[in-house]
Structure 1
Amino acid sequence: MGWLWGDSTASAQPNDAYSKLDPALRDFLDKESPLKYEGPSKPKASPDAASNEFRSQLGWTEPAPTTEQASTTPAVPPESLYQDGRYAHLWKNYRPRAEIEAASQTEADKLRSVIAAYNDRRAAIGRAAVENCVMEQLAERECWESGNLRDMMNMCRGPNRQFMRCYTMQSRFLKALGYLGLERSEEEEERIQMHADRLYHEMLARETAAEEARKSGLEVPVLPPLISRESATAALGADSAYAQAEKRTEELGSSSGLRLADYTPERQEQIKKQLASLNTREERELEMQLIAAERRAQLEIAERIQERFAEERKSRADRRERGRESVGDTIKRMWGWDNDGGQK
């Protein structure tokens, strides 16, 4: 009489209509139905149930993000210690310090930053030159600490001259090879420093060979220049600061060698006196190469300053069009700064 009174298992599963059927009817349905009835599905535990329970125990009211939520949650910036999305709401308005400083800089600040970067590069040249002349510096120090009486009476003049000449020539080689460049990697800095040291020791070897040839009454051999585009590019790379300076010189229509017409009359007189003070032809040729290479290195800083002046003129023009011209903008416009980058 299960049809009339039902089955005792119905009370165990009140929400299961299948269990309320007569056993004979359930057998018939099991035989005739292609799909087997598995009973009511039990709620599956969420994979985040344990983490949510742990968070609730710690007093965190927000549940752990699910997989779908994690995929839509914006990634936190790399400055965050938690790259899995935690505390993303604290980082949503984050801006790097460099970006904030760049946005808040005025035209004068940008110009000062270029000059400050140039001064930093000059200081870095001094440190790199001392590193390349460490052996000469140690020789001078040993002379002062444990030198003989003659060296002490001469104030260690010999080792001091060797160190000062090494420091001066290494600095000039570094400048000529593009160490003053504002955008360089550490690898390029190391290549420039190593190549400058190599050029200095090659210069010393050439001087020794020339002196021995003169003592022997032989003709001094004519050697290729120490600094050339082919050798420097091969040692530093096609994308190095030296190669960029050479390219910039060509774009400006100037010669890569020393040309007195590119300098002011005062500077021309200084160069002539500087070359006349040298004794040998090799020294004069090297001096001309270094002067020309230093000029190419200085073109980058001049170009950066002109870019800053152009940006300042554009900003002043934009403020004038919007009717927000300041008193300083008016004075600069009256003095003709909008025509030639700041010089009347």
Structure 2
Amino acid sequence: MGWFWDSKPAGDTYSKLDPSLKDFLDKESSSQNATTQPVPRSGEVPRSAEGASTTYRSQIGLPTSPNTPSDQQAQPSVPAESLFQDGRYAHLWATYRPQSSVEAAGKTDQDRLADVVDSYRDRKAAIGRAALENCVMEQMAEKECFSTGGWKKMMGMCRKENKDFNRCYTMQSRFLKALGYLSNTYATADEEERIQMHADRLYHEMLAREKAIEQAEKEGQAAPTFAPLMQQDHVVQALGPESAYARARQRAKDEMLPTNLSAYPPEKQDEIRDRLKGLNDWQKEVEMQLIAAESRAQLEYAEKVKATMEEERAHRADRRERGKETAGDTIKRYWGWKQ
């Protein structure tokens, strides 16, 4: 039987085998093909679709064709969370549901409304953290003043450093809101970083303009004129055409929303006029842009709340039609809530 292990067999070796050996090989091939083949480990001999070793089958003249497309389609599928993408343990994953779908299915209407409110609060907190990062130098100056600034500055509570830090934090927060940081709920980290960097650039540009105007006044010269601080084309170029700022501006253009004081109620108009008192022309322009951007962010938040409440109202009406109205639904109906 030494020829059986010859690496270069001659002729049709399979036909020369003993009939009992042929039957054994055919039986083993069919039984191996009926079971799912595990992924071969390192060091193991690869096996073909018929189940026998490809090395030994080639030596005895058996075909070594790869798996057919039908065999690959019959392989059970598993979700991406499985560590074994070859189909192992597919029966354990048959009833698997992602965590996000389970949480979404188990949420009530109140939970969904609370999610909208929480997301808005989280964004406001994120704006505070981003503004602190942009004002880290002012914050360090204030801390150093209290630590080693001398008794004179400490007696004055480091007024200048504290004022610089507070103004930086306030204006950076407002620039972040104006650029869409508040409304950009599902932004990526890269988008948030672009907004944060552009807000810091706008703030320092504002300080440079104020310094130039102050220097011109000291020298008795006319105040220099500047282009608008937040030019729409420059902002869109810095943040990208798909940013929250670009979408808000495009929406205002499509819906032809007013951008002057007439867009606000009378009480809000009086408040805005009070805020504009004592500001020069370019400062008024910046203030109006910030007010408009903050209003757009609040409008987007109000629309999300309205959509959630409309969905909750539809659910209450559906439960009432099916005769499964809850006690809370009944109370809301008697209180005059719209169906």
Q: TM-score, normalised by structure 1?
A: 0.76
Match of 1:39 in 2: 16
Between the two proteins, the alignment pairs up a number of residues equal to 294
> Using the alignment, how far apart are the partners of 2:169 and 2:72 within structure 1?
59
Contact 1:245 1:299 in 2 (8 A): no
Alpha-carbon distance, 1:165 to partner: 0.8
> Using the alignment, how far apart are the partners of 1:226 and 1:65 within structure 2?
74
Match of 2:93 in 1: 91
> Using the alignment, how far apart are the partners of 1:313 and 1:97 within structure 2?
27
Aligned to 2:111, which of 109, 114, 136? 109
Alpha-carbon distance, 1:271 to partner: 1.9
> Using the alignment, how far apart are the partners of 2:188 and 2:202 within structure 1?
21
Alpha-carbon distance, 1:74 to partner: 3.3
Q: Percent identity?
A: 53
Q: 1:36 and 1:93, CA in 2 relative to 1: closer, same or farther beyond 3 A?
A: closer
Alpha-carbon distance, 1:308 to partner: 0.7
**Counterpart code for 2:215:** E
Match of 1:163 in 2: 165
Aligned to 2:217, which of 214, 231, 241? 214
> Using the alignment, how far apart are the partners of 1:209 and 1:201 within structure 2?
12
Alpha-carbon distance, 1:52 to partner: 8.1
Alpha-carbon distance, 1:334 to partner: 4.8
SS in 2 for 1:155: coil
Alpha-carbon distance, 1:250 to partner: 3.8
Q: TM-score, normalised by structure 2?
A: 0.77
**Counterpart code for 1:137:** Q
Q: 1:106 and 1:297, CA in 2 relative to 1: closer, same or farther beyond 3 A?
A: same
Q: 1:109 and 1:253, CA in 2 relative to 1: closer, same or farther beyond 3 A?
A: farther
Contact 1:178 1:241 in 2 (8 A): yes
Q: 1:248 and 1:303, CA in 2 relative to 1: closer, same or farther beyond 3 A?
A: farther
Contact 1:114 1:304 in 2 (8 A): yes
- 1:188 lines up with 2:211 in the alignment: no
> Using the alignment, how far apart are the partners of 1:119 and 1:65 within structure 2?
62
Q: 1:148 and 1:36, CA in 2 relative to 1: closer, same or farther beyond 3 A?
A: closer
Aligned to 1:234, which of 234, 237, 249? 237
Alpha-carbon distance, 1:141 to partner: 1.6
Q: 1:69 and 1:306, CA in 2 relative to 1: closer, same or farther beyond 3 A?
A: same
Identify which range, 321-330 or 297-306, moves more after superposition: 321-330
> Using the alignment, how far apart are the partners of 2:265 and 2:127 within structure 1?
26
Match of 1:273 in 2: 274
Q: 1:242 and 1:323, CA in 2 relative to 1: closer, same or farther beyond 3 A?
A: same
Where in structure 2 are there 5+ consecutive unaligned residues?
1-11, 39-48, 52-66
**Counterpart code for 1:38:** S
Alpha-carbon distance, 1:127 to partner: 0.4
Match of 1:323 in 2: 323
- Provide, for residues 42-89 of structure 1, a one-character-per-residue CA deviation record: whole Å limited to 9, x for no partner: 42776979x989xxxxxxxxxx99866664233322222333322222
Aligned to 1:144, which of 141, 146, 170? 146
Alpha-carbon distance, 1:151 to partner: 1.7
**Counterpart code for 1:150:** K
**Counterpart code for 2:318:** D
SS in 1 for 2:242: coil
> Using the alignment, how far apart are the partners of 1:124 and 1:247 within structure 2?
25
Match of 1:74 in 2: 76
Match of 2:305 in 1: 305
Contact 1:246 1:296 in 2 (8 A): no
> Using the alignment, how far apart are the partners of 2:301 and 2:275 within structure 1?
25
Alpha-carbon distance, 1:299 to partner: 1.8
Alpha-carbon distance, 1:296 to partner: 1.3
- 1:121 lines up with 2:123 in the alignment: yes
Contact 1:175 1:294 in 2 (8 A): yes
- 1:205 lines up with 2:208 in the alignment: yes
**Counterpart code for 1:281:** D
Question: What's the Cα RMSD here?
Answer: 3.2
- 1:295 lines up with 2:298 in the alignment: no
> Using the alignment, how far apart are the partners of 1:333 and 1:229 within structure 2?
47
Where in structure 1 are there 5+ consecutive unaligned residues?
1-34, 54-63, 340-344
Identify which range, 91-100 or 196-205, moves more after superposition: 91-100
Larger Rg: 1
